[in-house]
Amino acid sequence: MSGLDQARALALAIPAALLGGAYIAQYGFGLYPCEMCWWQRYPHFVAVGLALLSYVMVPHRVWAALAGLAVITSGLIGGFHAGVEYGWWQGITGCSSLPSSIDVMDVNAAPIVRCDVAPWDLFGISLAGWNFLISGIGGATILALAAYKK
C-alpha cells in the first residue's frame, strides 16, 4: 500500500471513527455535546468529504493533505476545549457558565451542557483531550504520508 493510499485511508477512517464515537457517546450514553464539542465535529465532517474527494479528484495528495489539515484543526479545537475543561484558561462562549434563568416548564428544551466541565474522562483525559491527541497525531501522520512519494 502506497503512502498516498495510507493517507487517504487514514483521512477517511480517523474522522469517521471519532464522529462515530461522539455519536455513540451522545445517543448511547447520554453524553450530550456542548457548543465547543460541536466545533470539534465540524472539521471532521469536512475531513470526511475531503478524504472522499481524494479518491476521485486530482491531485490526490492535495485533497488527502487538506483532509489531514481538517483533522488537525479539530484536534486544535479539542486542545483548546480541554484547556477550558481543566481550567487552564477561560472559554470564549456562554456555555462556560450557567444561564441566569431557566424555564423549567419547557420539557422540549435541550439539556444544558457546560463547556468547562468534562462529562467523562479516561485516565484523566477528557473527550476533548482525546480528540486533541488522536486528531493531532493522526492528522500529522496523514500529512506525512500524503507528502511521502515512493
Q: How far is CA 47 from CA 10, 33, 127, in A?
A: 10, 20, 19
Question: Across residues 77-90, what is the average pLDDT?
Answer: 94
Specify the higher pLDDT residue, 69 or 106: 69
Question: Across residues 49-62, what is the average pLDDT?
Answer: 97
Residue 99 lies in a domain: no
Residue type, 43: P
Q: What is the pLDDT of residues 123-136, one digit of tens each?
A: 999 999 999 999 99
* CATH number of the domain where residue 143 is located: 1.20.1550
Domain that holds residue 136: 3-90+114-147
Residue 100 lies in a domain: no
Q: Whole-prediction pTM value?
A: 0.86
The percent of residues in the chain predicted with pLDDT above 70, rounded, is 88
Residue 98 lies in a domain: no
- Tally of domains in the chain: 1
Residue 58 lies in a domain: yes
d(CA 30, CA 35): 16
